[in-house]
Structure 1
């Protein structure tokens, strides 16, 4: 009765206070009832199985009581690249805490909790190069600078190796908690905001899993950039949005989409309402939403300046912001948001003059009182989209409070209560036996069931294993048509989740090809610069890995220029007596091997990241496998005369589900083994190997000249001379240099071309896809501290 009331939903008309108090009361009644039952039947609860289940139940029960005594409403900010998430967070809390400079977050998780006692906690993480610990009594500026320093340190450090992202928690007064009217929550409900990094800043499985845990328990704001929703960019934006929601595993039923920076729209843009309606339909289609989502046009910077100039206190109370800070923020608002203020005041001349007067006061550093600031904030809430956002929040809180705050606290109680109940039913059934004869017959029946149960569990397990192996063998054909047939067969056998696993496994290959293999191949074929490839790869792997690949790529790219292309290989020949040339060949090969090594490490890391994003699909698929086996087991039991003790089977299934929750599938370690396909051979050639000098006797004909005198025949005699030549032969010795030929031995190095490299890497992916179906012996998340550990002989020159 009590558990049914807890699981049932209360009418939406009943306010949140009633839901919370009623749940607390029902939970207390459940605990009291179980305690009374234990005290009245100590002999029953002395059973080891019951005692174990009871202990687990009271553990999660106590946790639920504490969570409901101090309930917290959580909001997570997701977003596409450079969408202004942190500015939005600061605008919503009324203070500058989240670092807003470009790239500040870079993968860290910032949690903001409402508290009158100001405190900063930076969790102690392995090998952290930033300060960790707890601090109290810090000002907003101190908080901001400390958080900023942590994020900067993490950003710089992860360029060299991978780290667990900083987990930063700042406890300060938050606007929606100080003024409950913003969210429509009753007093006493805690508020938490999570400023989560962009997806491109989270490229490893460990940090992704941490963020997924936060998003799963929170209401989500998804920030989009208006400058990316034009026809040229919208497709890329929606693709990124789909990945953000899919990888971070946000609940699409509790999301509000914010279209930030609408103040940057041009006068010739489509009407804003038309663009938003178009975007809503496309988001619904891309994310497969049951209804059109809320998309709110927003100007985060305007609201950020105005709200922080007021502070995080309620509007009906005096502001705690000092005059100097207020003037500084308003001055920035008038400077950065001038066009937006002008746009919204152009139809109201008196309002325009009023804002001009305020701007003059700010420039003259005149004090802006609270009443004036309230009025400024009122307009800024309207113009920025803040009023619409808080209204949307209140409506969603009313609809989703039970699912987001109450239900998560009770799920553990439900599961453990069911397990306890199933086991208890078995004992109750056994307690109906009153005489020895009945006891004897019942024991015999139980033994029969036990034997039958164990026998069929093993048989069903064998059938399941055989069927799965048959399905996997069909996938190993690497034939798309065969894959479709496998999925069809799996569905016929009752394995509804098999299709999602097939898609995830195939997705690994497509993802690695598109985001790692193809960019490196393109770079080598087109002489791309080092930093261009590095920046591209940083979108899909950690900065350290992207830098490793880019550096080795750069070395390989430069060295291949001294090779000639022959079919699928680059070839370079060096004489065996050329020691310097042979040394260079060794370096050439070593750098290509190093490129293969770094690609293998990156592919493994990216595969794990990709599959972590599909964790929900794997869990759902595994549950469908278990459900099918349970169904078959029930069919076997129902065929026998065991109906009276069917609860024994239910109890076993309940235990199985609990174990499944604690033992989720793990990913294979050392996922890829890429084979190096290098060739080396020796050849001989006949060619000039030297020169020799000889002396030869040669004859040479020379001509000697003799002059003679003669007279011209005319009436005027004139004497002239002329030259007369005659040949003379002489002998002489001449030095002659001749080439000496002989056989020369060469070492020929054949290195794979970029296209062949890509084929070999892709082949490594295909060969190891099947290992995704095998659970490794060592569970847990693999550490990346050894990313820079290179194979022997791969040290730098």
Structure 2
């Protein structure tokens, strides 16, 4: 396999060198031709990208990006693949940072400077593995703690160290001289902001993808949730589905009563194919990363036929951990081989006694770990995928710009060649007149096409914004008939934004308020969908608001609290209102941040949608150069469009501040009520009669007094505060999203129009450039005709012949890479 890659690489290098040398020879043949400003700038750009491509192909590098679902042991897999403990593997360590591991004979760590970083940035050399591990771990911890208080750009950490697959090229099937990079990426739960997601997408787009799944999540109860997460991970991180290998990690956790592993994997294959819309069933490999990690690190990065450089204490530490954590794996695989079982027991005893473990013994342990962990099978599958993907992932990216810039240069040279084939003054004058007409009508034609096209798009989006589902469906179907599938994609994405915000933010917050959930319970839920800083912010305002709302009584859709206007507790109402308004404010921040994150996750989809519109606009613009009265024998059309796509900026739409306008119905009121305000006490007299006990009866009277209370009533003024109930809050938040959804269409419309304006402007500049070049060439041809042009004619014949040879080399180079 490596011979095939090496052959492909050498052939590409040779063809690229031939292309560069041939262009150089053409310049030497007629240096005055390349003195024209238009040709000169194109030549300079070509030379720059050519030289860069030569350098990249001299030192190519194969990149593997590791993606993982929650708690899938991804960083442990990375360490097992590189043969050393570098990627932090404790729980919660890799909270959002990107760790790139590059093969190098030196030990160096580079942490890129980022805005307001609260962790150390810079470069360090002469670090051992332990130093590297702890420094990386400290950076990730610092980032994790800091982003609880505010947003930060995630750490970009690069470690330059000897890597196993580069030290032992047979593992990947790579020829010598090809670099290896592994990128350990954080999961989606750690990347809940648009900036960090965009950074990661750039990394993954250029790499082979290795996806880690957790065996404990593929049972019937959890598999649906796992596949939903997997779809989001791959879609949002923009992993390459054309060259993925899936690892089902932690299969050692399989219970005795579990389904056979083959059944689980076959079912998972079919479901992943459906979820990710794959052309074929994916590779899914049962794996035990921890077992391989311990054994490989105890051996190191050297090939098995070379001596290990790992010191004895390090080896013993890894082996002790292996026998402790992987005892079940060893027992399972040695139960039918008593000799092997006793051999491992003997090694375990020697390790416990800190005895010397020689390389021969260690190589046998590694041999069995590769077999039992799935490591050997993984490297085999890697080699097959490297063979299939090497050209696309390594060679082609180095040459894309060479192809683009040569096309631009070639088309302009063809214009010169065509003008030199005009044999008389009449032909030249006719061409000059046509080109003058093109220049004269160009601006007016472009503006007309632009206005018509924009009007159609505005009408289409206005229809999609309607509340009537049947109207939206009809408009989508009409758009698809016209080849504008992009709008359906955009519409579906906007609907997904609304559904996601409702599901992951509004419903949890509403239910927490209704059920009086604990603050940390809500915060844990929110941390899965927004940054820790925002999750904590929302949870804190929720805590303050919910404690106060418990003191309110419920009346219809409102929670009401009344206090007397002359009471000191009136101040409390102000605090109650303030904390509820803060909850609305932080929810709005969370909704906006999550919406931008979803839009960024749809980057590929939006670009595909916009690409279809750009292509349609380009078809219409071509009419400017193909109308009968503007047709020229000098081929201008292809030259005008050849660098259009290359110059278009790839920028996604962003949401302005306060994008979601969430209104509340918090109200204050006053009321009056007749109440007892005081009690007056008066003393009344009354007469008491009594008899004396004697033989002779007699009656006496006595005058007494007693207190009597009289209630004094008056109208009392109350201050009232009406706060929305949790259900009403949710309705108001949803209302803000609904309004925002309409504005989102406007943002997207503005973004689309910006791209279409760019197309028109670049097209106009390009046409002006090439028509200017053609006019200069035609004037020179007039001069040549007047002077007699036999000698000049022969020169241009040689020039055209040599130019054809160069184009043949260029086409062979593209053919070698299967490019049309």
TM over 0.5, yes or no?
yes
**1:668–1:776 Cα contact (<8 Å) kept:** no
2:715 corresponding residue in structure 1: 743
- For 1:116-195, what aligned pairs fall within 5 Å after superposition? 116-195=105-184
Q: Following the alignment from structure 1 to structure 2, what is the Cα–Cα distance between the partners of residues 646 and 454?
A: 20
Distance 2:384 2:598 in 1: 35
Determine which of 575, 578, 582 is the counterpart of 1:587: 575
Sort the Cα spacing of 1:439 and 1:113 in 2 relative to 1 into closer, same or farther, 3 A.
same
The C-alpha deviation readout for 1:474-498, integer Å capped at 9, x for no partner, is 1222333232222122223332211
Partner of 2:729: 757
Residue pair 1:203, 1:541 contacting (<8 A) in 2 also: yes
Aligned equivalent of 1:343: 332
Aligned mates of 1:209, 1:728 — CA distance in 2: 106
CA distance in structure 1 between the partners assigned to 2:590 and 2:49 by the alignment: 40
Point out 4+ residue stretches in structure 1 off by more than 6 angstroms.
Answer: 776-779
Contact 2:2 2:175 survives alignment (8 Å): no
From 693, 696, 703, the equivalent of 1:706 is 693
Farther off after superposition, 636-645 or 76-85: 636-645
Q: Which residue of 365, 368, 381 corresponds with 1:379?
A: 368
Alpha-carbon distance in 2 for matches of 1:647, 1:206: 44
Aligned: 1:693 with 2:681: yes
**1:54-133 → structure 2 map (5 Å cutoff):** 54-133=43-122
> Distance between the aligned counterparts of 2:746 and 2:417, measured in 1?
41
Partner of 2:620: 632
Shift of residue 707, structure 1, vs aligned partner: 4.2
**What does residue 616 of structure 1 align with?**
604
Q: Counterparts in 2 of 1:249-398, with a 5 A limit?
A: 249-398=238-387
Tell me which moved more, 676-685 or 232-241: 676-685
Larger mean Cα displacement after TM superposition, 390-399 or 457-466: 457-466
2:552 to 563, 567, 587: 563
Q: CA deviation at 1:409?
A: 1.1
- Match of residue 790 from structure 1: none
Where 1:562 maps in the other structure, the secondary structure is coil
SS in 2 for 1:497: helix
In structure 1, what is the Cα distance between the partners aligned to 2:694 and 2:640? 134
Secondary structure at the residue paired with 2:213? strand
Are 1:420 and 2:420 counterparts? no
Partner SS, residue 232 of structure 1: coil
Secondary structure at 2:550 match in 1: helix
| Structure 1 residues 754 and 16: alpha-carbon distance in aligned structure 2, compared to 1, 3 A threshold | same
Query: What SS class does the counterpart of residue 81 from structure 1 fall into?
Result: coil
Distance in 2 between residues matched to 1:112 and 1:740, nearest whole Å? 84
Counterpart position of 1:16: 5
Q: Give 1:642 shift.
A: 4.1
Between 580-589 and 684-693, report the one with greater CA deviation. Answer: 684-693
Residue 346 of structure 1: CA displacement?
0.6
Residue aligning to 1:675: 663
Deviates more, 1:768-777 or 1:604-613: 768-777
Asked if structure 2 preserves the Cα contact closer than 8 Å seen for 1:129 and 1:154, the reply is yes
Q: CA offsets per residue over residues 677-716 of structure 1, 9 Å max, x none?
A: 211122222222222233333x34443242449xxxxxxx
Residues 30 and 367 from structure 1, CA distance in 2 versus in 1: closer, same or farther, beyond 3 angstroms?
same
For 2:521, the equivalent position in structure 1 comes to 532
- Deviation, 1:320, is 0.1
User: Aligned match of 1:599 in 587, 591, 594?
Assistant: 587
- 1:410 equivalenced with 2:399 (yes/no): yes
Aligned length: 750
The Cα shift of 1:635 comes to 4.8
Asked whether the equivalents of residues 541 and 579 of structure 2 are also in contact (C-alpha less than 8 Å), the reply is yes
Q: 8 Å contact 2:236–2:601 — kept in the other structure?
A: yes
1:487 counterpart = 2:476:
yes
Going from structure 1 to structure 2, the CA distance change for 1:372 and 1:727 (only over 3 Å counts) comes to farther
- Give the secondary structure class of the aligned counterpart of 2:438: helix
Question: Where does residue 446 of structure 1 map in the other structure?
Answer: 435
- Between the aligned partners of 1:700 and 1:773, the Cα distance in structure 2 is 91
Residue in structure 1 matched with residue 19 of structure 2 by the alignment: 30
Once the two structures are overlaid, the 10-residue window that deviates more, 563-572 or 470-479, is 470-479
Q: Distance in 2 between matches of 1:427 and 1:647?
A: 10
**In the TM superposition, what whole-angstrom CA distance separates every residue of 1:489-508 from its partner, at most 9, and x where no partner exists?**
22233322111111111111
* RMSD (Å), alpha carbons: 2.0
Deviation string 1:356-382 (CA, Å, 9 cap, x unpaired) is 111111112111111111111101100
1:734 aligns with 2:706: yes
User: 1:437 — aligned with what?
Assistant: 426
SS at match of 1:15: helix
Secondary structure of 2:711 counterpart? strand
Structure 1 distance, partners of 2:700, 2:45, is: 125
C-alpha separation between the residues in 1 aligned to 2:750 and 2:710?
Answer: 72
**Does 131-140 or 380-389 show the bigger shift?**
131-140
With over 3 angstroms needed to count, the CA separation of the structure-2 counterparts of 1:91 and 1:162, relative to structure 1, is same
In 2, the alpha carbon distance for the partners of 1:617 and 1:302 equals: 40
Offset, 1:528: 0.6
Residue 665 of structure 1 contacts residue 775 of structure 1 at CA under 8 Å; is this kept in 2?
no
Unaligned runs of 5+ in 1: 1-11, 710-723, 780-797
Q: CA deviation at 1:398?
A: 0.9
Whole-Å separation in 2 of the counterparts to 1:41 and 1:396: 46
Is the alpha carbon distance of 1:572 and 1:647 closer, same or farther for their aligned partners in structure 2, counting shifts above 3 Å?
A: farther
Contact 1:422 1:650 in 2 (8 A): yes
TM-score relative to the length of structure 2: 0.88
TM-score when normalising by structure 1: 0.91
Structure 1 window deviating more from structure 2 (522-531 vs 737-746): it is 737-746
1:547 aligns with 2:519: no
How far apart, in 2, do the equivalents of 1:704 and 1:654 lie?
A: 130
Q: Where does structure 2 lack aligned partners over 5 or more consecutive residues? A: 752-820
Partner of 1:649 in structure 2? 637
Deviation at 1:137, TM superposition (A): 0.9
Deviations 1:64-118 (A, max 9, x none): 1111111000011000001001100110111101111011010011110111111
- What corresponds to 2:455 in structure 1? 466
Distance 1:386 1:304 in 2: 10
